[in-house]
Amino acid sequence: MSYTVPDTEPTKIFINATLKWTKVLSDYPASTWTLTYYFKHTTAANDFSIAATASGDTHVVSVAAGTVTYTTGTYRWFTKVTDGVSTYFIHELTGEVDVLADPASTSTARVLTHAQTMLAAIQSVLEGTAASDAESYTIKDRSITKFSLKELREWEAYYQKIVNSEKIKENIAKGIKPKNRILVSLKEA
């Protein structure tokens, strides 16, 4: 089975995996323009950039596994082209990518999104509420307040919707059609 190099930017990057994609920009051919991708994280120390190489007029982005130090999280990316004289930011060529932990790493137990992590934590708390159902208590001069059962259920529903949405997006990206359909009836006035 051979690997087909995509012509679109990835939506997910796994740490310690090779990255490769191509980009054809008819207004900025790789034979005369250099294309650079800039990835911005919430923490500036985690930002990185990738310069494409030229293959005729096609820009080729290729990063060997382990050559870029990534931090997990969501990055906003944008692009810039230059011919040595002029420089332009391509506003139409921007997006987001999720950098995920290496699932093969022994130090990574699970690769979960933030919503999946939160949902699991809330469900774990809900399972343990029967043993400690007090919402607040005080010992000497210290008091502790926990979420009420109602609040936990609301947060659980909130994160469950996000997890469901993520799953639908993931399935659509894989070419799997959503199972839920919305039927609309049109009435004439």
Domain final residue, candidates 100, 122, 144: 100
160-176 burial, b for 16+ CB within 10 Å, e for fewer? eeebeeeeeeeeeeeee
pLDDT digits (tens, 9 = 90+) for 132-177: 555 555 566 665 667 778 888 888 899 889 888 888 887 777 777 7
Say what the pLDDT of residue 163 is: 85
Range of 69's domain? 12-100
Residues 6+ apart with CB under 8 A from 112: 120
Residue 76 lies in a domain: yes
Residues 138 and 96 in one domain: no
Domain limit, last residue, from 100, 124, 158: 100
Q: Backbone phi, then psi, for 13, in 5-degree steps?
A: -125, 130
Indicate the burial class of 119 (C-beta count within 10 angstroms; 0-12, 13-18, 19 or more): buried
Q: Select the more confidently predicted residue: 90 or 170.
A: 90
pLDDT one-digit tens code per residue, 96-143: 988 888 877 755 445 677 788 788 888 887 777 555 555 555 566 665
Residue 73 located in a structural domain: yes
CA distance 76 to 49: 11
Count structural domains, the chain. Answer: 2
Q: Cα(36)–Cα(58) distance, rounded to whole angstroms?
A: 13
What residue spans of 36-148 are helical by DSSP H?
Answer: 114-128
**Same structural domain, 16 and 96:** yes
CA dihedral 69, 71, 72, 74 (to 10 degrees): -100
Residue 177 counted as domain residue = no
With respect to residue 7, please indicate whether it lies within any of the assigned structural domains.
no
* 54 and 18 within one domain: yes
pLDDT at residue 106, rounded to an integer? 53
Q: List Cβ neighbours of 28 (8 Å cut-off, separation of 6 or more).
A: 35, 81, 83, 88, 90
Confidence of residue 9 (pLDDT cuts 50, 70, 90): very high
29: pLDDT confidence band, cut at 50, 70 and 90?
Answer: very high
Are 85 and 128 within one domain?
no
What are the pLDDT digits (tens) for 39-64? 998 777 788 899 999 999 999 999 99
22 and 96 in a common domain: yes
Per-state percent for the chain, helix, strand, coil, to nearest 5 = 25, 30, 45
d(CA 67, CA 18): 9
* pLDDT value for 119: 83
The answer to whether 79 touches 37, Cβ cutoff 8 Å, is yes
Task: State residue 110's pLDDT score.
Answer: 57
Does residue 82 sit in the same domain as residue 137?
A: no
Q: Is 182's pLDDT higher than 80? A: no
Q: How confident is the model at residue 20 (pLDDT cuts 50, 70, 90)?
A: very high
- Residue 119 in any domain: the answer is yes
**For residue 37, what pLDDT is reported?**
96
Read off the CATH number of the domain in which 24 is found. Answer: 2.60.40.10
C-alpha–C-alpha distance, residues 130 and 165, integer Å: 30
pLDDT band at 78 (very low <50, low <70, confident <90, very high): very high
Give me the pLDDT at residue 43, please.
Answer: 73
State whether 22 and 81 are in the same domain: yes
Say whether both 71 and 20 belong to one domain: yes
pLDDT value for 67:
85
79 and 133 part of one domain: no
